[in-house]
Structure 1
């Protein structure tokens, strides 16, 4: 019973992964595993709530950070376990805006995983939507990572975050992230909601430059068709969109941009 796998996880960890309450109770009562390992985080992420409650009753600490530097509330929010999130918040010993790995809050996790029910609940009990992580990424950046246009729409419509807030090592807006990722629907939504299209990142690259490095012909065509930025603009290294396409090995994209007027040199 004392054996662990290559990740140092024992039998109880695996029981928590499966959410098998009966097996967990048997293991704890007979073998007395340490309740302050990463067990509670695993159970919070996987569910169900009954397993989490049992572990807490057996001495697991809801306010203790796990080996991954996240709290149980972060894990439950990430996993979309609404009942568990409610239970943890009602313990009144959990900071709803607690910072986990990289300064991420439970609300950010809910947004990044498109967990709408958890997101709504956290907002209803006072979660701070203006927090940013250690890299400056906002709630809007995390919502983009979740890929939910509805989540992004809600954040923007309720003015939770400045639509043009910058984050990440390149200091990019969510509009720039959408351009890089080829997320045309989200980019169009952001533009329609007032996102500034002329901004550049810390490399001096506008959304056309960034879209080009992402390799999406559809995105590049859309940006040019809407005249969202200057096709002849150069970044801090003096490179145009056509030159960046060439650097990235996007031959068709390079040809298209040159024919549309982007300088090759």
Structure 2
């Protein structure tokens, strides 16, 4: 009979925690018998009876029960301090998981950082197979901008939807926010393809009016995009995106299109969405003022806005 005496709750020591988190997805994939492992951990006083029974229940009843049970098991391991890691390694060895043990024991901070950099690069420029070869890396790791690998997938032009689906199936957090408070939908609207935006909204049910940096909705980012901006704007508008939204500076989407986007984007906003040409932001700046700020089709946009103002 296992004793409860000595079980210590709290985050695992940092060096051990890093090893498990760096290989988290790989562990979930390769722990084929989470029930047996949970029993071993119970016997070694790492788990209590409730934790062991919850893992058994998940294994029997949850969708994708083995993976779900393994995921829960690892979360419980990480929340045990003391010698939980050493006992976890011992249990893995006893159940024949020698390859996993070798990977864990040979993981260093440098190795982890290199793997993380490779994952971000693969998400942005690589194929789905490139990512599948890196399943041992934490899919919710953050870069210096506090972005997760999903952000890079959403800005990719190489099979972005397939890569997003894969990471989401491995528990990637679709609600993550970066240091600018942007979501993956903001990022896709700025840098990604129409199909990426469609997948995030249609399949992942992301909010088309969620606000990020400067209180801007995804529509603002479409109007700053160089990747199919009009198609993405049309799509979001068809899904009830608010075309009259204002950011924290009282700027409209037409202001930003005049600043960053092409003439065709400005034309669509004016002629199809009938946005106000005379609107001003908090600083009193008009859309024509924004046209004069950057060089992107500057003369063409100035002429178009000026001509439209004469007609209205």
* Match status 1:106 vs 2:152: no
Larger radius of gyration: 2
User: Contact conserved, 1:65 with 1:72, CA < 8 A, in 2?
Assistant: no
Report SS of the residue matched to 1:261: helix
- For residues 261 and 172 of structure 2, the distance between their equivalents in structure 1, rounded to whole angstroms, comes to 37
Contact 1:113–1:146 (Cα < 8 Å) also in 2: yes
Partner of 2:219: 175
Which range moved further: 248-257 or 172-181? 248-257
Q: Unaligned 5+ residue runs, structure 1?
A: 1-55
**8 Å CA contact retained: 1:129, 1:160:** no
Whether 1:208 aligns to 2:254 is: yes
Report the aligned-residue RMSD: 3.3
242 and 77 in structure 1: CA distance in 2 versus 1, 3 angstrom threshold: closer
Closer/same/farther in 2, CA of residues 121 and 254 from structure 1, 3 Å limit: same
1:195-234 mapped onto 2 (5 Å cutoff): 195-214=241-260, 216-234=262-280
Higher helix proportion: 2
Structure with greater contact order relative to length (CA < 8 Å, sep ≥ 6): 2
| Contact 2:189–2:225, Cα closer than 8 Å, also in 1 | no
Residue aligning to 1:66: 113
Partner of 2:173: 128
The CA deviation at 1:72 is 4.5
Encode CA deviations 1:86-143: one digit per residue, 9 max, x unaligned.
3443x4xx43222222111122222221433221111122221111111111111222
- Superposed, 1:79-158 pairs within 5 Å as 79-89=125-135, 91=136, 94-114=137-157, 115-158=160-203
Normalised TM-score (structure 2): 0.57
C-alpha change, 1:245 and 1:86, in structure 2 (3 Å) is closer
Query: Aligned pairs, how many?
Result: 206
TM-score by structure 1 length?
0.66
User: 2:207 matched to which residue of 1?
Assistant: 162
